[in-house]
Amino acid sequence: MTPDINPFVLFFASIFTSNILLSNFLGMCSFISVSKDIKSSNGLGMAVTFVMTITTALNWIVYKYLLIPFNIEYLKYIVFIIVIAAVVQILEMIIERVSMNLYMALGIFLPLITVNCAILGVALFMQLRNYNLIQSVFFGFGSGLGWWLAIMALAAIRKKVDKAPVPAALKGPGITLIIIGFMAMAFIGFSGMLSVQ
Amino acid sequence: MSSVLIAPLVIGILSSVLAALIAVIDGIVNNYGEVNISINKGRKNVKVKGGSPLLMTLSEEGIFIPSACGGRGSCGACKVKVLSDVGPVLPTEAPLLTDEEIKSNIRLSCQIKVKSDIEIEIPEELFSARQFKTTVESIKNVTHDIKEVRFRLENPKEVEFKAGQYAQLVVPPYGKIKDITQRAYSISSAPSQKNYLEFLIRLVPGGIATTYVHQNLKEGQKFDLVGPFGEFYKRPTKADMICVAGGSGMAPLKSIIYDMYENNETDRNVWYFFGARSLKDIYYLDEFKKLEEKWPNLHFVPALSEPSEEDNWKGETGLITDVLNKYLKERIKSPNGREGYLCGSPGMINACINVMTSNEISEDKIYYDKFA
């Protein structure tokens, strides 16, 4: 059964209260490694949002009209990944032709997104929670923006932390994980405003 | 139908549809039409189909930029200077370029795509480097272990090179050698012979190319050469040229000396020291004696380190470095300065560089071609 949630509520919920990064901890590895640099974080966030929105919609169509009719829903993991990989490949070609500036901004992150688990995670949640197409698009777009927001926030914090006297044992990923923990708690604070999942 | 069949079928069809989609979009998106590549300020213009990396586009046009990795962006050998704007340095190029190179617009030709008309600069020598289809014209024994091999160029029919440069022999698989092997040899013919390339090849026991040339290569056979390459050539100064060679190191110096003679550059003093063990290792004696008669400023000094008694040798004896030292100290007066040109084994070259630097030839004026 499709849940009765307004797509806009879903959109804001996936940015703040159920942020894919900070409530589900998906896409952590690029989150930690890329957030060292604000410019790269921006590029990666943009690319993730872009790809997440498109692949969620495509995967919804593939799931509904290909996997369900043939009764092969258990293949969703493989099929979703194939679709994501193909979309990323096509997007890369088109962006390179249309806008060299955007292509340079996204840089090597576009191909890396193929293996970003947040993208696959959103596709799987979308299927698990029985969203319809409109809801899925808003959910995908919102999750992408949420991911972008989180990585920008972390990058900004890390820039401050660089100047702070961090204990030697916690330097680098150690302090970053602790910061992420605080961030997650702060984001959970938003759930007082609206709660979806 | 059983689900065992349906699952692979659906995945297969989905994958092929997506692959076809990628191919179609690639065809549309990467179609840049015909573009013009202007090389070295218009010295050559080529019209090509856009969309492919510069490296591949150029090699299709017969311009071979060296590349060890084959265009994967890992060796960094295929650097060229790009004068037009082809966008910022790509992340795949950045690790292989120094800051200075980035400032002077050096790019990796395997990474940048040809999308619009561009202007590039490449070293002049790469221009004439290409693959030649040849026929073996003649193979002569010049000593007991050195062969003079002459190739007639079939396609392209002519070559342009600077005397002293080298070319690579493309040795086909033979016997236990399963791969194509490329080995560099100095060209011994003068550049005026545009239809031929001649090499002096000494048999090195166990050497892949030398063994092939000495045992398998036959007159009339088809053979491939790639070239010319190299930085070993005559500098256009007035200084005395002090040339030293041993064994098949004769090749580039023979080319240089004959080239000078043919172009009437006979005002310049040329001293050519050639070292060998005994008379059976020495060759081209008559040719150089004849040349000396016509060219008074050429001095050919062959020296034997271990002449046997039946050699009846009247020339210089001793190690070539000792002979060189003696001449530089006593016989050669050089009001216009001196330049060293060396070709031979690394041991011989290093020893000669020591002798030369102790005789007022600075190291930056010594040019050499080392072969191991």
pLDDT of res. B188: 94
Q: How far is CA A147 from the centre of its chain?
A: 5
Contacts with A22 (C-beta within 8 Å, 6 or more apart), sequence order: A150, A180, A183, A184, A187, A188
Residue B156 phi, psi dihedral angles, 5° rounding? -65, 160
Highest mean pLDDT among A95-99, A132-136, B331-335: A132-136
Beta strands in A54-144 (DSSP E): none
Could you tell me which residue, A99 or B172, shows the higher pLDDT? B172
pLDDT tens profile A99-137: 777 777 776 777 878 888 899 999 999 999 999 999 999
Instruction: Check pLDDT > 90 for residue B181.
Output: no
Same domain, B281 and B361: yes
pLDDT of res. A196: 61
pLDDT of res. B248: 86
Same domain, B199 and B100: no
Instruction: Check pLDDT > 90 for residue B244.
Output: yes
pLDDT of res. A194: 65
Judged by CB atoms closer than 8 Å, whether chains meet at A93 and B19 is answered as no
- Asked whether A37 and A107 are in contact (CB, 8 A), the reply is no
Mean pLDDT of B256-277: 91
Mean pLDDT of B286-309: 91
pLDDT of res. B70: 58
Which CATH number covers residue B41? 3.10.20.30
Does residue A16 lie in a domain region? yes
- Helix%, strand%, coil% for chain A, nearest 5: 75, 0, 25
Taking the CA of residue A159 and the nearest CA in chain B, the distance in Å comes to 23
Using a pLDDT cut of 90, give the percent of chain A over it: 40
Domain total of chain A: 1
pLDDT band at B167 (very low <50, low <70, confident <90, very high): confident
Structure tokens at B29: 């998106």
Domain endpoint, select from B202, B229, B256: B229
Say whether residue A61 is in contact with chain B using an 8 A CB cutoff: no
Q: How far apart are CA B234 and CA B240, in angstroms?
A: 11
pLDDT tens profile B54-75: 888 887 787 877 665 556 777 6
- Asked whether B138 and B150 are in contact (CB, 8 A), the reply is yes
Does residue A188 lie in a domain region? yes
Judged by CB atoms closer than 8 Å, whether chains meet at A86 and B11 is answered as no
Does residue B1 lie in a domain region? no
Q: How far apart are CA B266 and CA B262, in angstroms?
A: 9
Same domain, B366 and B245: yes
Contacts with B319 (C-beta within 8 Å, 6 or more apart), sequence order: B275, B303, B305
Interface of B with A in 19-78 (CB under 8 A): 19, 21-22, 25-26, 29-30
Does residue B235 lie in a domain region? no
pLDDT band at B245 (very low <50, low <70, confident <90, very high): very high
Q: What pairing do the DSSP bridges indicate for beta strands B130-141 and B222-229?
A: antiparallel
Of B15, B30, B87, the CB nearest to A104: B87
Domain endpoint, select from B200, B229, B258: B229
Instruction: Check pLDDT > 50 for residue B238.
Output: yes
Instruction: Check pLDDT > 90 for residue B6.
Output: no
Using a pLDDT cut of 70, give the percent of chain A over it: 96
Based on its alpha-carbon atoms, the radius of gyration of chain B, rounded to whole angstroms, reads 26
CA angle centred on B296, ends B290 and B299, rounded to 5°: 75
Nearest one of B132, B225, B223, B152 to B184, comparing CA atoms:
B225
A86 contacts in chain B (CB < 8 Å): 18-19, 21-22
Does residue A2 lie in a domain region? no
pLDDT tens profile A2-37: 788 888 888 988 888 888 888 888 988 888 888 888
pLDDT band at B372 (very low <50, low <70, confident <90, very high): very low
Q: How far apart are CA B180 and CA B160, in angstroms?
A: 25
Q: How far apart are CA B136 and CA B23, in angstroms?
A: 45
Instruction: Check pLDDT > 80 for residue B141.
Output: yes
Residue A160 phi, psi dihedral angles, 5° rounding? -70, -45
ipTM of the complex: 0.80
Does residue B27 lie in a domain region? no
Nearest one of B186, B195, B199, B97 to B152, comparing CA atoms:
B195
Longest dimension (CA), chain B: 99
Instruction: Check pLDDT > 90 for residue B363.
Output: no
Q: How far is CA B273 from the centre of its chain?
A: 23
Same domain, B225 and B285: no
Structure tokens at B136: 């073996």
Could you tell me which residue, A197 or B125, shows the higher pLDDT? B125
Domain endpoint, select from B106, B122, B138: B122
Query: What's chain B's length in residues?
Result: 372
Which CATH number covers residue B157? 2.40.30.10
Burial class, B320, CB count within 10 angstroms (exposed 0-12 / middle 13-18 / buried 19+)? buried
Same domain, B215 and B255: no
Average pLDDT, chain B: 87
Domain total of chain B: 3
Judged by CB atoms closer than 8 Å, whether chains meet at B21 and A90 is answered as yes
pLDDT of res. B67: 60
Does residue B21 lie in a domain region? no
Does residue A197 lie in a domain region? no
Does residue A1 lie in a domain region? no
Could you tell me which residue, B290 or B130, shows the higher pLDDT? B290
Of B22, B30, B92, the CB nearest to A86: B22
Using a pLDDT cut of 70, give the percent of chain B over it: 96
pLDDT of res. A49: 92
pLDDT of res. B202: 92
Which CATH number covers residue B274? 3.40.50.80
Mean pLDDT of B321-347: 88
- Asked whether B165 and B148 are in contact (CB, 8 A), the reply is no
Does residue B282 lie in a domain region? yes
Same domain, B145 and B97: no
Taking the CA of residue A96 and the nearest CA in chain B, the distance in Å comes to 9
Does residue B9 lie in a domain region? no
Same domain, B151 and B215: yes
Helix (H) or strand (E) holding A91: helix A76-98
Beta strands in chain B (DSSP E): 34-39, 44-49, 79-82, 106-108, 118-121, 130-141, 146-155, 166-171, 181-186, 196-202, 222-229, 240-246, 270-276, 298-304, 316-317, 338-344, 366-370
Average pLDDT, chain A: 87
pLDDT of res. B68: 52
Does residue B66 lie in a domain region? yes
List the domain range (segments joined by +) for residue B83.
34-122
Q: How far apart are CA B314 and CA A14, in angstroms?
A: 97
List the domain range (segments joined by +) for residue A43.
7-192
Instruction: Check pLDDT > 70 for residue B315.
Output: yes
Contacts with A33 (C-beta within 8 Å, 6 or more apart), sequence order: none
